[in-house]
Amino acid sequence: MSDIAISTPQAQMTRTRSAVGSLRIVQTACILVIALVIVSPLFMLLIASLKDDRFQILADMGSFRAFWVSDPTLANFAEVGNFSGELAFGRYLLNSLIILALTVGSGLIVNSMAGFVLAWGSVRGRALILSLVIALYVIPQESIIMPLVIMVSRAGMTDTFAVQIVPWIASPLYIFLFYQFFAQLPKELFEAAQIDGASIFRIYRSIFLPLSLPALATVSILMGIESWNQYLWPILVTQTDYARPIAVAIATFFGQDSIYWDRAMAASVLMMLPILALYLAFQRWFVSSFVGSAVKG
């Protein structure tokens, strides 16, 4: 009998603490593994951009040497700076920034307005319109890309900045996202503003829009990434390099017989920076929109 240990409250607490500690270790380990999986391609990209031998980069890709550089150099970045395409590399970067800024800026206005009207406006056939918006979202972009090429070509829009912006401003996904967000806001807000004599545009601009920062941040980031990564569309609708974005310039490094991995990697790092900055700038609201921190009624 004396061998049987009697569990005291202190011992139980110690065991509980130990179990919680073990759980935390497992949790931390899992988070670390997930973080490694996510970060490792980016790290590999950065490391490869610091190697000056394109053949070595290729050979290293199958092993852990891909994550190590013994003799780092910025030569690839200098090469990219001296890019011998039709335009300077910085110009392609600027083109991408212009396209991104105008697409996201116009997209926020158009999609949020549409979402707001669908949520609070006097719209006949609201349910039908919403169903159509969702149905449109299901249609893959690839299936409409060629008809769209013909349309913009007939409209004389090819080879412009506009052709890379206008078709992507209105998006069923973002209209629906805004609709959902606005619909969650308390009815009292809308009614109080109406009693005060505010027009529907005033209610949208002065009350609902300032409350929708998480939705605006989410749409900005998603739309920004989408716009920044556009590759096939600009190739199809532009003839010259005048308005072409950075993704098309990077493709130049992938030639017929040879791939310039060194320069492609350095250019990819440069391409990644602005979108990373955009994410960091809106990260707080982006995350909060996902955890549902909208105003509750």
Q: Which residues bind other proteins (CB under 8 A)?
A: 55-56, 58-59, 61-62, 83-86, 146, 149-150, 153-154, 158, 231-232, 235-237, 239-241, 248, 251-258, 260, 263
Q: Taking Cα atoms as reference points, which of 200, 217, 207, 23 lies closest to residue 118?
A: 200
* Closest to other proteins by CB, 92 or 178: 92
Closest separation in Å from C-beta 158 to other proteins: 7
Cβ atoms 79, 266 nearer than 8 A: yes
Instruction: Kindly tell me which of 26 and 61 has the beta carbon lying closer to other proteins.
Output: 61
The whole-angstrom separation of Cα 228 and Cα 66 is 26
Write down the least CB distance from residue 107 to other proteins, Å. 24
> For residues 79 and 136, is the Cβ–Cβ distance under 8 A?
no
Q: Which residue has the tokens 């004389």?
A: 156
Helix axes 9-49, 261-290, angle to 10 degrees: 140
C-alpha distances out from residue 4 to 1, 8, 137, 218, Å: 6, 12, 66, 59
Looking at the Cβ atoms of 160 and 184, the one nearer to other proteins is 160
The distance of closest approach from Cβ of residue 149 to other proteins in the complex, given in angstroms and rounded to an integer, is: 5
- For the chain, what percentages of helix, strand and coil (3-state, to nearest 5) are there? 75, 0, 25
CB of 211 to other proteins, least distance (A): 43
Which of residues 215 and 248 has its CB atom nearest to other proteins in the complex? Answer: 248
Nearer to other proteins, 181 or 253 (CB): 253
Q: Of 290, 248, 246, 237, give the one whose Cα is nearest residue 269.
A: 246
One DSSP character per residue, 151-197 reads HHHHTT-TTSSHHHHGGGTS-HHHHHHHHHHHHHS-HHHHHHHHHTT
For residue 159, the minimal CB distance to other proteins (Å) is 9
Query: What angle, rounded to 10 degrees, do the helices at 213-228 and 89-120 form?
Result: 140
Q: Which is nearer to other proteins, 40 or 258 (CB)?
A: 258
CB 94 within 8 A of CB 87: no
Residue 149 or 275 with smaller CB distance to other proteins: 149
- C-beta of 251: minimal distance to other proteins in Å? 4
Check: CB of residue 163 under 8 Å from CB of residue 103.
no
Identify which of residues 188 and 257 has a Cβ nearer to other proteins in the complex.
Answer: 257
Q: How far is the CB of 170 from other proteins (least distance, A)?
A: 22
Contact 236, 147 (CB under 8 A): no
Closest approach of Cβ 10 to other proteins, in Å? 56
Residue position matching structure tokens 């406006």: 121
Between CA 273 and CA 91 the distance in angstroms is 15
